[in-house]
Amino acid sequence: MGIQDWTYVMVGLTFSIYIGIAVWSRARSTRGFYVAGRGVPALANGMATGADWMSAASFISMAGLISFMGYTGTIYLMGWTGGYVLLALLLAPYLRKFGKYTVPDFVGERYYSQAARIVAVFCAIFVSFTYVAGQMRGVGVVFSRFLEVPVEQGVLIGMALVFIYATLGGMRGITYTQVAQYVVLIIAYLIPAVAISYKITGNPIPQLGFGDQIASGEHAGRYLLEALDGIHRDLGFPEYTAAFVPGKKPMIDVLAITAALMIGTAGLPHVLIRFYTVKSARAARWSAMWALVFIAILYTTAPAVATFARVNMIETLHQTPYDEAPAWFKTWEETKLIAFDDKDGDGVIRYSGDATLNELTVDRDIMVLANPEIANLPAWVIALVAAGALAAALSTAAGLLLVISSAVSHDLFKSVVKPDLSEEGELWLARAAAGVAVVVAGILGIYPPGFVAQVVAFAFGLAASSFFPILVLGIFSRRTTKEGAIAGMVSGIGLTAAYIIYFKFIDTTAGADAYWFGISPEGIGTVGMLLNFAVTMAVSQVTAPPPEDVQRMVEEVRLPREA
Amino acid sequence: MEGPKPDPQGYWRANLRLLAALLSVWFLVSFVLGILLVEPLNAVHLGGFPLGFWFAHQGSIYTFVVLIWVYARRADVLAKRYGVE
């Protein structure tokens, strides 16, 4: 069987499992729909959180990005894992203790204000939509490459699937499908990584392999990273493991971006909402631990995959005559994600850090998908990787759609517009909202506005500068007032959004020289977050303290016991 | 058997001390060892890994997992000790 047949088998099989689980675990109440009846065991919730969190970006793009960035790739590695420490220590147990269903619920009650609740609802919807459009696009790309259907049809197939299990199953269905999707995606990530690690270094554990010696070939016996640094020097790239050399981001920017991604992770509504599904504050702590264990398995493998892919790509293509280029080169060339421009007309591919000499451009997104082909792994492994990429994209999309659905039906309709809505009516509305959200997300995936990709990256800065400070202060400082929180959210997200919009959309020619202290728009969320903290605390000092019952609620939220 | 007398204030103070200690380690491995001191640390090698690079790409993530594990365990102990389970 060829790659395509295998892909049909793998994708068909995994999709049937997801639908089967959705039918088995469908929700019958709003409690089931929003928070899976609060009966999810910590381990299962950890696994579901892992799948929820690891999106098409983690699975498909991240190792590729690291492959081209070397050391600087740490902004993603530490940025997208370190936030779980903040989440577990500062937020998850307390939000779970508070109960209710959503993040805006907490904001609305803690800050005794419908205005604060509505600001939080719109932040949640905005962040989730920008994110979900990227996932649907990822689904489309995988379908078009491996099943050779147009991207649009791929998006439609993905939409139909998510529609079935998100509207039918709600959080309960999503949780258990995410558990299955985690298993699929992690197996799909590890098998090629182990195979390639063994092939290059003779060490089957990728986390150790990329620090090991090369087993055979011209560099045999040298440490892999040392050899890669050497190759980079020869081709005119900055060394792979070097930190703040010319051509890489400066230290201040690495600090700012890492912090923005960490804090943004801890402020993302679709991640926070997962901790409402477990049975107690204690279970919330343990499930955050399991979530990071499951995420760390992929995140510690990714830098190894990045290193192997970098070495493999250069070794296979550099100085190779174009006519003798391997078959995968030609298939990816058709998708325009890899290109050869024979500048000196000698018919030989030359890869170089000098743009005037370089003849090869490779899209960062294809490194993980093409890696098994580059390493000559069997067809079923390649098909498995396609199924894994789909699992990563679909699980994240479903989690995001649920946030949008609950924000509309619960936070806007039930809490603000029509408080006398019946349980049955709310459940029905939640399903309808999820359905509409799927369609909108699909349209954004088929016709991506040019700025979606950029906005996804900025969603973290916006989440970091709006939600995180007021959630933390709401728990750790009784004195924080609604005036403080609203002023803090508005100034934090205002500064962050203004800085991003200025550099990305208004004065696009202004380069790094114009950045404040060298901090790029990707990292400005850290500054916005600090401003939010400062404004919230300052305004809280000069306004009337929160009512007695709110202060009592804060004290109660801090304790793990059940009231 | 009756547990200890509930002491919410005591629990909260102990919890804050625990958080301060764990967050210091969090800051140390990620921002200090992984970023601020990465260049001097890269002069040291751990097998084939420059040490600073290893912290940035591997060590910090392992430490994060351990930190949450320690927290989840210690928080259980504190809840028992101060009678707020």
Q: Hey, is the C-beta of A90 within 8 angstroms of any chain B C-beta?
A: yes
Partner residue facing A561 (CB), from B22, B26, B84: B84
Question: Is residue A452 scored above 80 in pLDDT?
Answer: no
Q: Hey, is the C-beta of B22 within 8 angstroms of any chain A C-beta?
A: yes
| Chain B contact probe: residue of A65, A78, A292 with most B CBs at under 10 A | A78
* B79 to A282: CB separation less than 8 angstroms, yes or no: yes
Mean pLDDT of chain A: 85
Closest residue in chain A to residue B46, using alpha carbons only: A211
* B71 to A251: CB separation less than 8 angstroms, yes or no: no
Alpha helices (H) in A42-150, listed in sequence order: 42-53, 56, 62-69, 74-86, 92-98, 103-110, 114-146
* A558 to B23: CB separation less than 8 angstroms, yes or no: no
CA separation for the pair A65, A329 (Å, rounded): 19
Range with the poorest average pLDDT among A26-35, A81-90, A283-292, A418-427: A26-35
Q: Hey, is the C-beta of B62 within 8 angstroms of any chain A C-beta?
A: yes
Torsion region of A64: left, alpha or beta (phi above 0 gives left; psi -120 to 50 gives alpha): alpha
pTM of the model: 0.90
Select the more confidently predicted residue: A252 or A452: A252
Place of tokens 């949640």: A124
Question: Is residue A56 scored above 70 in pLDDT?
Answer: yes
* A93 to B19: CB separation less than 8 angstroms, yes or no: no
* B31 to A255: CB separation less than 8 angstroms, yes or no: yes
What percentage of chain A reaches a pLDDT higher than 70?
Answer: 98
Q: Write B33-41 long-range contacts (CB < 8 A, 24+).
A: B33/B59, B33/B60, B34/A74, B34/A78, B34/B59, B34/B60, B35/A74, B35/A251, B35/A254, B35/A255, B35/A258, B36/A251, B36/A255, B38/A71, B38/A243, B38/A244, B39/A243, B39/A244
| Chain A contact probe: residue of B15, B30, B77 with most A CBs at under 10 A | B30
* B30 to A555: CB separation less than 8 angstroms, yes or no: no
CA separation for the pair A328, A537 (Å, rounded): 57
Place of tokens 């981001």: A249
- Taking a contact as any Cβ pair under 8 Å apart, which residues of chain A between 235 and 274 contact chain B? 241-244, 251, 254-255, 258-259, 262
* A82 to B26: CB separation less than 8 angstroms, yes or no: yes
* B58 to A223: CB separation less than 8 angstroms, yes or no: no
* A241 to B72: CB separation less than 8 angstroms, yes or no: no
Mean pLDDT along residues A145-173:
79
Quick: pLDDT tens for A1-33: 788 888 889 888 998 888 888 888 776 777 777
Number of residues that this document lists for chain B = 85
Contacts of A206 in chain B (CB under 8 A): none
Q: Which residues of chain B have pLDDT under 50?
A: 1
pLDDT-derived band at A316, boundaries 50, 70, 90: confident
Q: Hey, is the C-beta of B54 within 8 angstroms of any chain A C-beta?
A: yes
Secondary structure string (H, E, C) spanning A466-518: HHHHHHHHHHHCCCCCHHHHHHHHHHHHHHHHHHHHHHHHHCCCCCHHHCHHH
The Cα-based distances of A163 to A29, A133, A170 in angstroms read: 18, 15, 10
- In three-state secondary structure terms, A223 is strand
Quick: pLDDT tens for A168-224: 777 888 888 889 999 999 999 999 999 999 988 889 999 998 888 888 877 888 898
Closest residue in chain A to residue B32, using alpha carbons only: A255
Q: Mind giving me the DSSP string for A244-271?
A: S-TTS--HHHHHHHHHHHHHHHHH-HHH
Place of tokens 């298939």: A331
> What burial class does residue A216 get, using C-beta atoms within 10 Å of its C-beta: 0-12 exposed, 13-18 middle, 19+ buried?
exposed
Ranges of each domain in chain B: 25-81
Provide the b/e sequence for A402-429 (b: ≥16 CB within 10 Å): bbbbbbbbbbbbbbeeeeebeeeebbeb
Rounded to 5 degrees, what angle do the CA atoms A433, A448, A332 make?
A: 125
CA separation for the pair A53, A201 (Å, rounded): 31
Mean pLDDT along residues A404-416:
80
| pLDDT score, position A450 | 56
* A258 to B46: CB separation less than 8 angstroms, yes or no: no
Do the Cβ atoms of A186 and A59 come closer than 8 Å? no
What does DSSP say about strands A338-340 and B45-46: parallel, antiparallel, or unpaired? unpaired
| Chain A contact probe: residue of B57, B65, B73, B85 with most A CBs at under 10 A | B57
Mean pLDDT along residues A284-300:
93
Q: Hey, is the C-beta of A280 within 8 angstroms of any chain B C-beta?
A: no
| pLDDT score, position A451 | 57
CA separation for the pair B28, A353 (Å, rounded): 34
Do the Cβ atoms of A62 and B44 come closer than 8 Å? no
Partner residue facing A211 (CB), from B48, B67, B84: B48
Quick: pLDDT tens for A326-376: 888 887 887 777 888 888 888 888 888 888 888 888 887 778 888 888 778
Phi, psi of A528 (to 5 degrees): -60, -40
**What letter would DSSP give residue A70?**
G
* A244 to B42: CB separation less than 8 angstroms, yes or no: no
| Chain B contact probe: residue of A278, A298, A559 with most B CBs at under 10 A | A559
| Chain B contact probe: residue of A45, A85, A200, A519 with most B CBs at under 10 A | A85
Partner residue facing A85 (CB), from B6, B64, B76: B64
Angle, in degrees to the nearest 10, between helices A74-86 and A62-69: 130
